[in-house]
Chain A
C-alpha cells in the first residue's frame, strides 16, 4: 500500500464513521429524508460562500454551507406549519429549489469556479491526499482527514454529552417535552450536526452519497440490534467496512470511489437483511417454517388427546385418518407423525397412535395457553 492509499482509506473510514453516528438518530426519528434535503441544499451555501471568498478551503465555506443546511430544515418546517402541504411534500419542494440555484450558479460561473457538477455529485476522494495541511511549514497530513476527524469528534462529543436527552426525545418526544427537555433544541442541534457532517463529507463523497453513508449503515444496524448504544457502534463499524471495501473495489476496477463505497454499503445492507439472526430474511423464513411444524405437532397431540379413551378412538387415532380429519395431505401427515415420534410425543402400534406422557403434557399446555 502506498501512503496515499493509506491516507484515502483513513479519510474514508473517518467520513463513514462521522456520517453513521448522526444517521442513527435520523433513522430512529424517521427524518432520514431530511439528510437528503440537507446534503443537496448545502451546495448553494458552498457556491455562494465560494463566490464571496474565492477560496475552496476557507472555513467560512463550512459555516455558510452548514447554515444553508439548517435553513433547509427551517424552511421545510415553516412550509409544513402552514398546513398547506404535508411534510414529505415540503421536503420535496424545498431542496430542489436550493439545489437548482446552486447548480445554475455553478454553470453560470463555471469559468472562474473550480467546482463542477461531477464534483458535486461524486466528490473526489482520490484527490483528497493532495490537499495537505501545513502547519509552520511542516506537512502534517491531508487537510480533509483533520476536517473530518474534527467533525467526528464533535459528533461523538455531542452524542456522549446528550446521550440521555437524545435517547428520550427520540423514543418519547412527548415525555421529553413534558420533562422540560425542549426536544426542538435537540432537533436543531442534531440537524446542525447532520449539516456540518454533510458539508465536511461533501468534498470527499459528493452530495448524494453522503446520504448513503448516513442512512445505509444505521439502517443495517437497526436490523441487528435494538439497543441504541450498540446501534451507534455497529453503524460506525458497518460504515467503515463499507468504505474500506468500496475503496479496494474502486482501486481494482478504477471507478469512482464514492460510488463503490455507496454500493458496498448497499451490499452490506443486503447481507445483513438476509442473514441477521433476529430480523433477517432467513431467520424470519426459518421461524415461519418452525412455527408451521410446531403448530402441526400441537394439532396432532390435541387431536389425539381429544379422542383418547373414547369409543371412536380406534378409528380417530389412526395415522391414515389424519388426512380426513385435519385435512392434511398424506405426505404432510406422514412427516408430522414421523416428527412427533422422533420427539417421543407419540408411539405407533399397528397404525394406532398413542400419546406418550411428553405428548400428554404438550397437549395440555397447548390447549390451555
Chain B
C-alpha cells in the first residue's frame, strides 16, 4: 500500500485510526514512564508486573462476568500491584535478591493466571472468547471505549509525572539525598510504582502480557543513547514508544497472521539497535570512529616526537632519517610509512631522496609544542 494511502486511512479509516491512537497512547505512556524504571535499575519490574497482571484479568472476568475493559484493567492493575508488593517484600525481608524474587513471582502468578484461563475456557457459554488476546496482544480488537480508557489512565499518569517531576528525578538519581532532604521517599516510590503498573496494564490488550515488558525497557534504553538529560530522555522515549507502537500496530493490522505484540516489539527493537549503533557520542559506530581517530593522532604525534628527538640528538631538528630507524623506535604503531605519508600531506614532514624523512618548519613547531606539553605533564 502507498504511504499516502496509509496516511489517508490513518485519519479516515475507523479501525486503523482506533488502533493507531491506542498504540500511540500505549507507546507514549510506557515510553516516558519506562525511563524511570530503567534509570532505577528496575527494568525487569515491568516484566514482572505484566506477567502478574494475568491472574488479575482472569479473576476480574470470573468475579464480574464482564469483559468491560475497565474491569479487566482494574483487575490487572490490582494483581500487578500485589505482585510488585510481594517482590519488594521478599527483597527486603529475605536473603533472596531482586532477580530471584522477580523471576519467582512472575512465573508463579503467570502459572496461576493460566490455571484461571483454562478454567474460564471450560465455562459453558463461550463469552470468554478474547481473553487469550491478552497473551500476545491484539491491536485490531481495540475499540473506541478501550482507547478512551487508555487515554484517561495514561493521561492521569503523565499528569502525575509532570506534577511530581522533581521528586521522581531526585528519587531516580540520588534517593539517599532525597531522604536527607526530608522527602517522603516511601510515598513517592509507591506513586512511581503505581503509575508504572498503570503504564504496563493499559498496554496489555495491545502488546500482550508476555512482551509488554519490552515496551518499558526498550524505548528508554534507546532514548538513553541520544541524551544525558532526563527531560530530553523522557520526551524522546515517549516519541520512540509512539513510533514503535503505531508502526507495529499498523503493520500487523494490515498483514494477516502477524500478531501485534511481537510486531511492535520488533519495531521498538529496530529503534534500539539504530540508537545503540548510531547515536552521536554514545553510539558504537561513533565511538569506534572516535577511537580510531584518537589512535591515529597518538601514532602521528609519536612519530613527530621521534623525529624531533632524533633531530635533537643530531643537533639539527631538520636532520633526515630513514623510516626503518623510526620503525625500530616505534614498535606496535602500525604502518610507519603510511603515517609518514599522512604527515607529508599535512606538510609536517618532507621526504628527501629515497625514504629519508625530515621535519618541516611547521613540523618542528608542532613537535616542539608536543614535547613541551609532555614535559609539563611529567
Contact A253 B44 (CB under 8 A): no
Number of A-B contacts (CB under 8 A): 200
Contact B262 A103 (CB under 8 A): yes
Chain B: residues with Cβ within 8 Å of the partner, total of 60
Picked from B101, B110, B136, the residue with its CB within 8 Å of the CB of A209 is B110
- In the complex, A99 Cα to B51 Cα: how many Å? 15
- In the complex, A86 Cα to B259 Cα: how many Å? 29
Contact B224 A85 (CB under 8 A): yes
Picked from B90, B99, B118, B211, the residue with its CB within 8 Å of the CB of A30 is B99
Q: Contacts of A215 on B, CB cut-off 8 Å?
A: 100, 103-104, 107
- In the complex, A278 Cα to B113 Cα: how many Å? 32
Give the contacts of A144-160 with B (CB-CB under 8 A). Answer: none
Contact A255 B111 (CB under 8 A): no
Picked from B95, B257, B282, the residue with its CB within 8 Å of the CB of A222 is B95
CB of B217 closer than 8 Å to a CB of A: yes
Picked from B95, B103, B114, the residue with its CB within 8 Å of the CB of A256 is B114
Give the contacts of A198-218 with B (CB-CB under 8 A). Answer: 208-212, 214-216, 218
Whole-angstrom distance between the Cβ of B263 and the nearest chain A Cβ: 7
Q: Contacts of B110 on A, CB cut-off 8 Å?
A: 208-209, 212, 262
Q: Contacts of B269 on A, CB cut-off 8 Å?
A: 93, 96-97, 100
Contact B266 A262 (CB under 8 A): no
Contact A93 B217 (CB under 8 A): yes
Picked from A92, A101, A261, A266, the residue with its CB within 8 Å of the CB of B262 is A101
CB of A223 closer than 8 Å to a CB of B: yes
CB of A263 closer than 8 Å to a CB of B: yes
Q: Contacts of A309 on B, CB cut-off 8 Å?
A: none
Q: Contacts of B41 on A, CB cut-off 8 Å?
A: 86, 88
Contact A33 B103 (CB under 8 A): yes
Q: Contacts of A210 on B, CB cut-off 8 Å?
A: 107
Contact B265 A216 (CB under 8 A): no
CB of A121 closer than 8 Å to a CB of B: yes
Chain B interface secondary structure, helix, strand, loop or mixed?
Answer: helix
Contact A36 B114 (CB under 8 A): no
- In the complex, A108 Cα to B259 Cα: how many Å? 9
Of all chain B residues, the one with the shortest Cβ separation from A265 is: B108
Of all chain B residues, the one with the shortest Cβ separation from A36 is: B103
Per-position binary interface string of chain A over residues 9-40, scored 1 when its CB falls under 8 Å from any chain B CB and 0 otherwise: 00000000000000000110011110110001
CB of A107 closer than 8 Å to a CB of B: yes
Per-position binary interface string of chain A over residues 77-120, scored 1 when its CB falls under 8 Å from any chain B CB and 0 otherwise: 00100101110110111001101110110011010000001000
If A96-B265, A100-B262, A254-B122 touch, whether A122 touches B114 (CB-CB below 8 Å) is: yes
| Most chain A beta-carbon neighbours within 10 Å: one of B95, B97, B111, B217 | B111
CB of B102 closer than 8 Å to a CB of A: yes
- In the complex, A162 Cα to B335 Cα: how many Å? 47
Contact B108 A32 (CB under 8 A): no
Whole-angstrom distance between the Cβ of B20 and the nearest chain A Cβ: 20
If A96-B213, A212-B111 touch, whether A89 touches B266 (CB-CB below 8 Å) is: no
- In the complex, A180 Cα to B19 Cα: how many Å? 57
Contact A97 B265 (CB under 8 A): yes
Contact A269 B104 (CB under 8 A): yes
CB of B261 closer than 8 Å to a CB of A: yes
Picked from B38, B114, B217, B266, the residue with its CB within 8 Å of the CB of A121 is B114
CB of A66 closer than 8 Å to a CB of B: no
Q: Contacts of B104 on A, CB cut-off 8 Å?
A: 32, 211-212, 215-216, 219, 266, 269
Q: Sort chain A's interface into a size bin.
A: 35 or more
Q: Contacts of B216 on A, CB cut-off 8 Å?
A: 92
Contact B221 A216 (CB under 8 A): no
Q: Contacts of A234 on B, CB cut-off 8 Å?
A: none
Give the contacts of A254-273 with B (CB-CB under 8 A). Answer: 254-256, 258-263, 265-266, 269, 273
Whole-angstrom distance between the Cβ of B294 and the nearest chain A Cβ: 17
Of all chain B residues, the one with the shortest Cβ separation from A31 is: B99
Give the contacts of B274-319 with A (CB-CB under 8 A). Answer: 276, 282, 284
CB of A279 closer than 8 Å to a CB of B: yes
CB of B157 closer than 8 Å to a CB of A: no
Per-position binary interface string of chain B over residues 105-129, scored 1 when its CB falls under 8 Å from any chain A CB and 0 otherwise: 0111111111101110010000000
If A93-B272, A254-B122 touch, whether A108 touches B257 (CB-CB below 8 Å) is: yes
- In the complex, A32 Cα to B48 Cα: how many Å? 13
The contact sample of 24 A-B pairs, CB cut-off 8 A, is: A26-B100, A30-B97, A33-B103, A36-B44, A40-B210, A82-B276, A88-B99, A96-B211, A96-B214, A97-B266, A100-B262, A100-B263, A103-B262, A104-B266, A122-B114, A208-B51, A212-B108, A219-B100, A219-B104, A222-B94, A256-B115, A259-B112, A262-B107, A266-B109
Q: A222-B100, A262-B112 are in contact. List 16 more A-B contacts (CB 8 A).
A: A27-B96, A33-B44, A88-B44, A92-B47, A96-B214, A97-B214, A104-B262, A108-B258, A211-B103, A212-B110, A219-B104, A222-B96, A255-B119, A255-B122, A258-B111, A284-B93
**7 tightest CB-CB pairs across the interface, nearest first?**
A262-B111, A266-B108, A100-B262, A212-B107, A92-B217, A96-B214, A259-B115
